Structure 1
Amino acid sequence: MIQATKRRVGQGCWPGKQCIDPFKTDFDMLQVQPVSRSVRLNGFSTCLRLEAVYWGILERIAEANQCSVSAVLSYVDREVHLRQGGVRNFSGLIRVICVAWLLDPPSVR
C-alpha cells in the first residue's frame, strides 16, 4: 500500500530548485468534477461541459455584468463568430476567458 507523505517546500521538484505546492490547504477536489449544463446560445439549445470551478467563475462574471450565465455565454458565442468566424472548441474558449478574466480583473469589481 502506498502511503501519502506530506511534502515540504523544495521536495519533489527539480534538483536545486524550490517548489511551491499549488494545492491550497483546503483545496476542494469537487471543483475538478465536470458539470454538464443545458444552455441557450443566441436562441439555440446546446450542452456545455465544464469543470465546476469554471461554472463558478462564469457566475462571478455574470454577476459583475448584472446578467445571467447564459447571457455571458451568448455574448461570447456571438462575439467569437463576429470576430473570428467561430471556434472549434467553445468550452476551451470559455476556460481561457475565465482565466483571463481572473488574471486581468476589470476595475469595477
Structure 2
Amino acid sequence: MSRAVGNGIMETGGFHRTEADPFAKGFDMGLAKPLSRSVRLNGFSTCLRLEQIYWNILTEIARINACSVSALLSYVDREVHLRYGGVKNFSGLVRVVCVVHVLKARANLD
C-alpha cells in the first residue's frame, strides 16, 4: 500500500514532489460521482454512466451546437460507426471527446 505525504505522490522508489496539485483549491469530489442517464442514440434508448464532470462538459458542447445532449451523443455514435466501424467502449469514447473539447478550448485561450 502506498500513501502520499505532504505534497508528494508515490513513485517507484519514493515520493515525487508535485508542481501542480491535482486537488486544486475548491476541488469538488461530486464531479467524480458516476451518474447514469437514459439517452436516445439514433432512436434507440440506452443508459450511459459517466461521472458528473463529463455530463457537464457534454451539456456545454450541446449548448455550443444548439442541440440536446442526446442529439450530440447520437452524432458521436453515428460518426464513430461511419468513420471507424464502431467502438467497443462508447462511454470511454465520450470521455475522450470531452477531454479533447476541453484541451482545444484551453489551446484557443493561449
Asked if structure 2 preserves the Cα contact closer than 8 Å seen for 1:38 and 1:45, the reply is: yes
Q: Which of the pair is proportionally richer in helix?
A: 2
Deviations along 1:40-93, one digit per CA (max 9) or x if unpaired, are 000000000000000000000001111110111000000000001110000000
Number of aligned residues? 101
Deviations along 1:19-50, one digit per CA (max 9) or x if unpaired, are 13111110010111100000000000000000
Structure 2: which 5+ residue stretches go unaligned? none
Residue in 2 that maps onto 1:95: 95
Q: CA deviation at 1:13?
A: 5.8
Q: CA deviation at 1:18?
A: 4.1
Asked if structure 1 preserves the Cα contact closer than 8 Å seen for 2:9 and 2:17, the reply is: no
Residues 42, 16 of structure 1: CA spacing in aligned structure 2 closer, same or farther, 3 A cutoff?
Answer: closer
Q: Does 1:19 align with 2:13?
A: no
The DSSP-based 3-state class of the residue aligned with 2:92 is helix
Runs of 4+ aligned residues of structure 1 deviating over 6 Å after TM superposition are none
TM-score w.r.t. the length of structure 1 is 0.82
Percentage identity across paired residues of the two chains: 59
Structure 1: which 5+ residue stretches go unaligned? none
